Amino acid sequence: MPKKILIVDDEPEMLDLLKIHLGNNKYDIVSAMDGESCLKTAASEKPDIIILDLLLPGISGIEACRRLKENDDTKDIPIIMLTAAGNDMASKGLEKGAVSFITKPFDISNLLSKINAALKNKKIRRHRTK
């Protein structure tokens, strides 16, 4: 069964680009364009991983990350932060529980590597807790 990815970005072009590339790599894609929709979609869709833009309207990506990690239903979902803001902002996402970050613009193969690593680590953690 394909892994489900929630992509959260307020730029329609970025969403479309990621949907195409990740869909072509056999992932099921769901999306949201703001922090509030991210929280609702994560709770209802139970994605295997979340690609979360740092700068979003309303609830920021950092705040959405914090809330996802505090919620028992979503706390174990790996989050990769997307940022055009630089490493200082990305480190705040890591402090809130993101497993990795990638700086825009980025190479899709780099993002795919980070996704695969995060999913592999999630599987390892799940086996250790059984």
Q: What is the mean pLDDT of the chain?
A: 91
Strands (E), 35-113: 49-53, 79-83, 100-103
How many C-beta atoms lie closer than 10 Å to residue 2's C-beta? 11
* Domain map (residue ranges) of the chain: 4-128
pTM of structure: 0.92
* Of residues 78, 44, 77, 42, the one with CA closest to residue 59: 42
First-to-last CA distance in the chain? 22
* Of residues 120, 63, 54, the one with CA closest to residue 87: 54
pLDDT at 90 over 60: yes
pLDDT at 105 over 90: no
Given 3.40.50.620, 1.20.1250.20, 1.10.760.10, 3.40.50.2300, which CATH number is that of 4-128?
A: 3.40.50.2300
What is the per-residue pLDDT across 9-58, written as a single tens digit (0 to 9) for each? 999 999 999 999 999 999 999 999 999 999 999 999 999 999 999 999 99
